[in-house]
Structure 1
Amino acid sequence: AANSNVPAADNDNDAAAAERKAFIEFARKGIERMDQKAAATLTVATDASAGYLAPEAFGAEILKGIVEFSPVRAYAKVTTIAAPEIKLPRKLTGTAATWVGETDDRSQSDMTFEQATFTPYELATYVDVSNQLLEDNAYNLEGELAADLGEAFGKTEATAFVSGNGTGKPKGLLVAAGIAEVKTGNAATLGTDPAATIIGMFHKVPSVVAQNGVWLMNRTTLGALRTLKDGTGRFIMLDPITAGAPVTLLGRPIVEMVDMPDVAANAYPIMFGDLSGYRIIDRIGLSVLRDPYSQATKGTVRFHARKRVGGDVTNADRFLKLKVAA
Structure 2
Amino acid sequence: MRHLMKTGLRGSTALSPADLTLKEGGEDDPNDIVTKAIGDLTETVNKRFDDQDADRKKLSDRLDKIEAKSNRAKGEGEDDPDEAAAVEKKAFGTYLRRGDAVPDEDRKALTVANDEQGGYLAPAEMSTEFIRDLVEYSPIRSVASVRGISSPSVKYPKRTSGTNAQWEGEAEEAQESTVTFGQLEVPARKLMTYVDISNELLADSGGTAEAEVRLALAEDVGKKEGAAFVNGTGAGQPEGLMTHTGIAEWVNGSTTAVSPDAMVKMMYNLPAAYRNSGTWMMNGTTLGVIRTLKDGDGRFLWQPSFQAGQPETILGRPVIEAVDMPDVGAGAFPILYGDFSAYRIVDRLAMSILVNPYLLATKGLTRIHATRRVGGRVLQAERFRKLKMSTS
TM-score by length of 1: 0.73
SS at match of 1:157: helix
Q: CA RMSD in A?
A: 2.2
> Which amino acid letter does the alignment assign opposite residue 257 of structure 2?
L
Aligned-partner residue type, residue 112 of structure 1? T
Query: Is 2:226 aligned against 1:158?
Result: yes
Q: Give the equivalent residue in structure 2 for 1:317.
A: 382
Pairwise mapping of residues 1-326 of structure 1 onto structure 2 (< 5 A)? Answer: 69-135=137-203, 138-140=206-208, 143-186=211-254, 188-190=255-257, 194-296=259-361, 299-326=364-391
C-alpha offsets along residues 15-51 of structure 1, whole Å, 9 cap, x if unaligned?
xxxxxxxxxxxxxxxxxxxxxxxxxxxxxxxxxxxxx
| Other structure's SS at 2:225 match | helix
Instruction: Using the TM superposition, give the Cα deviation of residue 294 of structure 1 relative to its aligned residue in structure 2, in angstroms.
Output: 4.2
Alpha-carbon deviations, 1:111-144, whole Å to 9, x = none? Answer: 2122222222110122334324533585346753
Distance between the aligned counterparts of 1:294 and 1:167, measured in 2?
Answer: 32
> SS where residue 148 of structure 1 aligns?
helix
CA distance in 2, matches of 1:190, 1:223: 12
What is the deviation of 1:298?
A: 5.2
Q: What SS does the aligned partner of 1:212 have?
A: coil
The AA in structure 2 aligned to 1:315 is Q
Shift of 1:162: 0.4
- Higher Rg: 2
CA deviation map 1:291-311 (0-9, x unaligned): 224444553312101011111
User: Alpha carbons of 1:236 and 1:169: their partners in 2 closer, same or farther (altered >3 Å)?
Assistant: same
Contact (CA 8 Å) 2:138, 2:324: kept in 1 or not?
no
Contact 2:218 2:351 in 1 (8 A): no
8 Å contact from structure 2 (residues 137, 227) kept in 1: no
Residues 244 and 132 (structure 1), Cα distance of their counterparts in 2 relative to 1, 3 Å cut: farther
Task: Give the share of equivalent positions with the same residue, in percent.
Answer: 47
CA distance in 2 between counterparts of 1:243 and 1:167 reads 41
Structure 2 distance, partners of 1:222, 1:308, is 32
- In 1, distance between residues paired with 2:234 and 2:343? 14
1:181–1:320: 8 Å Cα contact kept in structure 2? yes
Provide the aligned length of Structure 1 versus Structure 2: 257
Amino acid at match of 2:256: T
Structure 1 residue 258: Cα displacement: 0.1
Shift in alpha-carbon separation, 1:142–1:245, aligned structure 2, 3 A: farther
Q: Which amino acid aligns with 1:202?
A: M
User: Aligned equivalents of 1:160 and 1:235: distance in 2?
Assistant: 32
Structure 1 window deviating more from structure 2 (237-246 vs 133-142): it is 133-142
CA deviation after TM superposition for structure 1 residue 321, in Å: 0.4
Give, in whole Å, the separation in 1 of the partners of 2:314 and 2:210: 40
- Preserved contact between residue 133 and residue 139 of structure 1 (Cα < 8 Å): no
Bigger relative contact order, structure 1 or 2 (CA pairs below 8 A, ≥6 apart) = 1
Q: Cα distance, 1:104 vs. partner?
A: 2.2
DSSP-derived class of the 1:152 partner: helix
Distance change (3 Å), C-alpha of 1:142 and 1:292:
closer
Deviations 1:265-305 (A, max 9, x none): 21110000111111112222222222224444553312101
Cα distance in 1 between the residues matched to 2:384 and 2:246 = 9
Q: Return the alpha-carbon distance in structure 2 between the equivalents of residues 119 and 228 of structure 1.
A: 41
SS of residue matched to 1:69: coil
Asked if the contact 1:125/1:152 (under 8 Å) is kept, the reply is no
Asked if structure 1 preserves the Cα contact closer than 8 Å seen for 2:153 and 2:187, the reply is yes
Which amino acid is 1:290 matched to? V
Residues 270 and 129 (structure 1), Cα distance of their counterparts in 2 relative to 1, 3 Å cut: same
List runs of 5+ in structure 2 lacking aligned partners: 1-135
Contact 2:137–2:324, Cα closer than 8 Å, also in 1: no
